[in-house]
C-alpha cells in the first residue's frame, strides 16, 4: 500500500556527492558512513547505490545494522566496519566474517585476540574522549599480534577552525608504522576539507553524502538528496481573528486559506518548524502556520486557490537552512526522518 507521505531521494545527488568527496579525498579512498539506517534515508538503498558508484568501505554502528546490509557487501573487495566494536554477545555474528569490528577498548582487543582474531579495525582516541584505545596503550604493544586492516580516529571539532584539529591530526600521524595496520583513517565529512594532511588512506564521510554542509567549503560541492512530501488532508478558510493548531500559535490578521498536511514531528518534521518552515508547490512558497503537531502541519495556501485535498506538497528541507529554521542539527534532521514515509529513489 502506498504511504500518504513520501521521501523523494535523489540517486544522482547521492552518487555525485560521493564522487565529489572521493575527489576531495585525493589519493585516499573514500568510504561511506551508513549507520542509523543510512542517516535516515534507508541503509540498503544507500549502500546499493554507493557500492555501484565505487565506494568500497562502509561503516555502521552495531552488528544489527551490519547484518541488515551484509548481503549487499559480500563482494570481497567491499569492507564493512562496525564502529561500536564487539561485545561478548556479538561474537557469534562477528565470527561469521561479513564485517570487521572497530575495536575500541582493551577488553574488546582481548576478546578478539582470544577468539582467534580475524581482520579487524581499531579506534584510537586522539582527543575526543569518546571511543578508542589510548595512544599510550598502542605504544606499549596492546595491538601486537592482531590483524588490523584500518587504524582510525575521529575528529571532535572538524566543523570548527580550532587548533584541536591539528593536535588530533599530529597524534594520528605519530601512530604511523606503529601497528602494522594496512591503512589509517581520520576524516569525516568536515575533516575532508580541512586539508590533504587529514585524508590519510581512507576518509569516512556521512553527513555530506546526504547533502549536509558541515563546513562552508562543502557548500556548492554537495547537493540535497532528501525531499519530504506530504498530502493535503483538508483545506479550510480562516477568518481574521481565527487561530490554528495547539496553543493557538498563529492567529489570522486577515482571511487566509489553509491546508492541513499529514506530516508532523513524529515523522521528523520537528516542532521547530512551527511558524518558520515552509512548503512549496510549483515554486509557490507556502509558510507553515502555527505549531507543528505530531501528525499534522498547517500551511498557508492563499497563493494556490486550486490546490485541493489529496494534492502533494513538498516541504523545504534544504539542510543548512532547515537546520537554522528548526533549531535542529543537520544530523538530527536526517536521522529523525520517520518510518511512515515511503522512501522513493529517483
Ligand X SMILES: *Cc1c(COP(=O)(O)O)cnc(C)c1O
Q: In whole angstroms, how close is the CB of 57 to ligand X at the nearest point? A: 11
Cβ atoms within 10 Å, residue 294? 13
Q: Smallest Cα–Cα separation from 86: which of 95, 73, 76, 78? A: 95
Count how many Cα atoms sit within 13 Å of the Cα of residue 244 in the half-sphere of its side chain: 29
Question: Does residue 55 contact residue 242 with C-beta atoms inside 8 Å?
Answer: no
Residue 235 burial (10 A CB sphere; 0-12, 13-18, 19+) = middle
Reading phi first (left if > 0) and then psi (alpha if -120 to 50, else beta), residue 42 is in left
Kindly state whether residue 122 participates in binding ligand X, applying the rule CB under 6 A.
no
Q: Which three cell numbers stand for residue 246?
A: 495547539
CB of 240 to ligand X, least distance (A): 47
Binders of ligand X among residues 175 to 194 (CB under 6 A) are 188-189
213: number of CA atoms within 13 Å, CB side? 18
Q: Is 250 a catalytic residue?
A: no
Closest CA to 86 of 97, 94, 76: 94
Question: Total number of residues binding ligand X (CB under 6 A)?
Answer: 10
Q: Shortest approach of ligand X to residue 90 CB, angstroms?
A: 17
Give the Å distances, CA to CA, from 62 to 23, 87, 89. Answer: 29, 10, 12
33 interacts with ligand X by CB under 6 A: yes
Question: Which one of 86-94, 200-208, 242-250, 266-274 is the stretch in contact with ligand X (CB under 6 A)?
Answer: 200-208
Task: Establish whether 246 is a catalytic residue.
Answer: yes
Q: Which among 39, 198, 210, 246 is annotated as catalytic?
A: 246
Interactions with ligand X, residue window 44-103 (CB under 6 A): 83
In the complex with ligand X, the residue whose CB is nearer, 53 or 276, is 53
Q: Which of 124, 143, 172, 207 binds ligand X (CB under 6 A)?
A: 207
Using rule CB under 6 A, residue 205 touches ligand X = yes
Q: How far is the CB of 39 from ligand X (least distance, A)?
A: 7
Q: Considering only the stretches 70-78, 85-93, 199-207, 241-249, report the one whose residues sit in contact with ligand X under the rule CB under 6 A.
A: 199-207
| Least distance between ligand X and beta carbon 81 (Å) | 9
Residues that bind ligand X (CB under 6 A): 33, 35, 83, 154, 188-189, 204-207
- Residues belonging to the active site: 35, 246
Amino acid at each position: 500500500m502506498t504511504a500518504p507521505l513520501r521521501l523523494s531521494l535523489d540517486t544522482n545527488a547521492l552518487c555525485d556527492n560521493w564522487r565529489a568527496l572521493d575527489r576531495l579525498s585525493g589519493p585516499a579512498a573514500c568510504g561511506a558512513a551508513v549507520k542509523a539506517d543510512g542517516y535516515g534515508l534507508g541503509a540498503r538503498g544507500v549502500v546499493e547505490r554507493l557500492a555501484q558508484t565505487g565506494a568500497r568501505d562502509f561503516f555502521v554502528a552495531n552488528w544489527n545494522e551490519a547484518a541488515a546490509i551484509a548481503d549487499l557487501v559480500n563482494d570481497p573487495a567491499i569492507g564493512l566496519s562496525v564502529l561500536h566494536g564487539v561485545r561478548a554477545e556479538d561474537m557469534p555474528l562477528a565470527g561469521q566474517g561479513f564485517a570487521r569490528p572497530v575495536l575500541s577498548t582493551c577488553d574488546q582487543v582481548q576478546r578478539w585476540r582470544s577468539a582467534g582474531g580475524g581482520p579487524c579495525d581499531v579506534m584510537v582516541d586522539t582527543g575526543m574522549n569518546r571511543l578508542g584505545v589510548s595512544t599510550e596503550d598502542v605504544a606499549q604493544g596492546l595491538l601486537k599480534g592482531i590483524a588490523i586492516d584500518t587504524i582510525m580516529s575521529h575528529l571532535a571539532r572538524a566543523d570548527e577552525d580550532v587548533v584541536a584539529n591539528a593536535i588530533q591530526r599530529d597524534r594520528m600521524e605519530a601512530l604511523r608504522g606503529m601497528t602494522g595496520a594496512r591503512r589509517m583513517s581520520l576524516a569525516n565529512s568536515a575533516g575532508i576539507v580541512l586539508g590533504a594532511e587529514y585524508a590519510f588512506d581512507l576518509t569516512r564521510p556521512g553527513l555530506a553524502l546526504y547533502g549536509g554542509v558541515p563546513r562552508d567549503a562543502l557548500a556548492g560541492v554537495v547537493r540535497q538528496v532528501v525531499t519530504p512530501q506530504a498530502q493535503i488532508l483538508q483545506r479550510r478558510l480562516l477568518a481574521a481573528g481565527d487561530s490554528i493548531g495547539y496553543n493557538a500559535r498563529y492567529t489570522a490578521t486577515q482571511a487566509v486559506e489553509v491546508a492541513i498536511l499529514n506530516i508532523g514531528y513524529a515523522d521528523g518534521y520537528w516542532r521547530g518548524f512551527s511558524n518558520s518552515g515552509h512548503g512549496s508547490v510549483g515554486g509557490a512558497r507556502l509558510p507553515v502556520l502555527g505549531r507543528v503537531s505530531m501528525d499534522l502541519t498547517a500551511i498557508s495556501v492563499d497563493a494556490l486557490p486550486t490546490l485541493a485535498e489529496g494534492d502533494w506538497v513538498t516541504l523545504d528541507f534544504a539542510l543548512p537552512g532547515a537546520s537554522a529554521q528548526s533549531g535542529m542539527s543537520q544530523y538530527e534532521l536526517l536521522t529523525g526522518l520517520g518510518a511512515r514515509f515511503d522512501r522513493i529513489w529517483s
